Structure 1
């Protein structure tokens, strides 16, 4: 990894920490980041010529595999007509209708450029619509890096051991209320005190930024009922789960209909994108129809729209989720078996195309449970897997992802390296 090391040193002189997103720094796994040259199918190739079976997949954005030919062709075809216009294009209508047909709760949609833009805009809309200021989020759930979200958030801040962030005015704290994921009593207790002042509850229906944490049975349904009872909007952050856990997202899988939904990652086919949408009566409060302002020069960029529409149409046409679910089950069940025969305490959470490994015998349902797992063992396991050519999420607080391109060859090789790594732990 000589060239990766040299590039990291060069990057550190011009980019803070040598990376443009904190978790890429490999801080908690005691490694230097790998600089990638290209990706193809299930594989990444670094600047030193090493290849890796990729389970990061651009943090969930790549569901069909790297450099998928249909998405690549859509990008090439769109680019021939221009890069950006700052004006409406027909393809914005096509992808909007496509998303709405797959997630019916999104009656109207506004395209943006990132998941962070989507979630911060959804919160502003919820406040503008309800004329209330406070909102509830859940400890460990990450909704982007807007000021009011970086309070007991997940992913990068947890990886770096930072419970919040400097640079956030204390005035923001009073309007962000924190509950515990999978603990409905924590929600009830907040509502009993602040119920009349709360605009919305925002939640990752399947948490993907403190590892893959599934909701307990009935948890999301109970939150939906409480929101209706207290006249509070329910916002599902499906930036990760949207079109990954099922064709209609987590809301289809768990049969819970939110008032607003935020999306990102997969809807761009690998390009920068975000979207938020929901009930028509709520979305019509967005400018230019209403008084809730939101704008973006590159929102609805035709190249991103083309890549995203190509990806979504492929998912809809080929019905790939059963295949990805089967691959996930196969990988996870075999890892559990290998842990057992090697006497490794291990708990794995998984759902279609997502999984997380925790070195603990206890089932993981919340941030508190994760913190009781063996982080040093995870660090060593990550390093062993990386040396074996397996690229996992470089943090115990991140989910790993499986794409359609992960076939039996890749899964069997992964299991061989898992077995070797377990024997070395």
Structure 2
């Protein structure tokens, strides 16, 4: 009997490329039919067949409070009745800008956009306009959205420029992007020594979430801050994923590093499409209409998105919120590792705040190459076993996972128990 998920996927492929509107949703990495969700409540999501799952994706991070939080829903409902969009300023835009600048000390000014990709694209353009330089430094395995100059894979050598990693990206565009190794301060130092007067910006996920979760070393973070300051380049923290997820002041607050510009998405919109970028006043004042760097968006600061974002950002400021979230996420990771070790399965896990990474390897990776060396086939088997047991993890071995405030200790224990049962079959 064909499931409703299968029926919808077959139908979707007729008019939607690949049947999905974002590639990882297609389950190409893990195989099988993608789940079509129709409802979420707290830590749970329900698919088109009516089956409920404990959700460790959380819309890829935004649902830090869980799905359909009543106060967020109420804020959205109250905003909807006044109109969906105006293309003109609203008071909520001012309110959320004030709140963001109060919560993140590095933000003197902020601009709202409609997505994380838009935020990073705009921040990079701004950094180039501010410095008058062209070269962007990024790190292999970090994802900053699908703008042309970001879809670049590493060149053939340490100091070579990148090559397009997507069709439709001109080689000339890719040649202004230098791709280096994450967690390699020496490589970054050599890049600045060779090209420092041409480097406009360094952009980084301070905790990587797009090649699974990779934590930064203190030396790497310090080198980025010191070298960009020394050579007059702009340090951009891409906190689209980590923003307000790993701590109340985001990753920069957690690690004590002050970037020049920061980008946000996910949590900042409370589940609605919204992003933001901001930073030092002297840089932000280069944005139109104050300066020559153009950026615009018809739906920027949408009143429904700002309502959801404001409600979410206020709720996560409750005393002990992030400490509790971190403890829950660590309990999941520790439980899974203990279960795997009991059965002799090569497996490791780690978390930073409410983000986590699972790896079929003896130890947690620290670089892109180490991530690639993990046992992807084992992850795929684990993924489908957990789906069958009612636990939804990211459908890729190269994506971080997320725990919400709505996850209970009982639910986390049930997930660990299901994993334990599967690990026992892998001896």
| Alpha-carbon RMSD | 1.2
Contact 2:113 2:274 in 1 (8 A): yes
Gaps of 5+ in 2: 155-162
What is the alpha-carbon distance in structure 2 between the residues aligned to residue 260 and residue 268 of structure 1? 19
- Equivalent residue runs for 1:234-253 within 5 Å: 234-253=235-254
| 2:25 is the counterpart of 1:24 | yes
Give SS of 1:317's match. coil
For residue 318 of structure 1, report the CA deviation from its aligned partner. Answer: 4.5
For residue 424 of structure 1, report the CA deviation from its aligned partner. Answer: 2.3
Contact 2:164 2:171 in 1 (8 A): no
1:312-357 deviations in Å (ceiling 9; x for gaps): 0011134410110110111111111111101000121311111111
Q: Which residue of the partner structure matches residue 375 of structure 1? A: 376
Give SS of 1:119's match. helix
Contact 1:360 1:373 in 2 (8 A): yes
Q: Which residue of the partner structure matches residue 281 of structure 1? A: 282
TM-score calculated relative to the size of structure 2: 0.96
Q: Which residue of the partner structure matches residue 158 of structure 1? A: none
What is the alpha-carbon distance in structure 2 between the residues aligned to residue 31 and residue 2 of structure 1? 12
What is the alpha-carbon distance in structure 2 between the residues aligned to residue 81 and residue 49 of structure 1? 34
Q: Which residue of the partner structure matches residue 157 of structure 2? A: none
For residue 186 of structure 1, report the CA deviation from its aligned partner. Answer: 1.3
Q: Which residue of the partner structure matches residue 66 of structure 1? A: 67
Contact 1:347 1:364 in 2 (8 A): no
What is the alpha-carbon distance in structure 1 between the residues aligned to residue 207 and residue 85 of structure 2? 34
Contact 1:349 1:364 in 2 (8 A): no
What is the alpha-carbon distance in structure 2 between the residues aligned to residue 363 and residue 393 of structure 1? 18
Q: Which residue of the partner structure matches residue 398 of structure 1? A: 399
| 2:353 is the counterpart of 1:352 | yes
Give SS of 1:420's match. helix
What is the alpha-carbon distance in structure 1 between the residues aligned to residue 41 and residue 153 of structure 2? 36
What is the alpha-carbon distance in structure 1 between the residues aligned to residue 129 and residue 105 of structure 2? 23
Q: Which residue of the partner structure matches residue 291 of structure 1? A: 292
Q: Which residue of the partner structure matches residue 91 of structure 1? A: 92
Gaps of 5+ in 1: 154-161
What is the alpha-carbon distance in structure 1 between the residues aligned to residue 379 and residue 203 of structure 2? 30
Q: Which residue of the partner structure matches residue 157 of structure 1? A: none
Give SS of 2:386's match. helix
Q: Which residue of the partner structure matches residue 267 of structure 2? A: 266
Contact 1:184 1:223 in 2 (8 A): yes
Runs of 4+ in 1 over 2 A off after TM superposition: none
For residue 307 of structure 1, report the CA deviation from its aligned partner. Answer: 0.4
Counterparts in 2 of 1:358 and 1:14: CA distance versus 1, 3 Å: same
Q: Which residue of the partner structure matches residue 149 of structure 2? A: 148
What is the alpha-carbon distance in structure 2 between the residues aligned to residue 173 and residue 36 of structure 1? 37
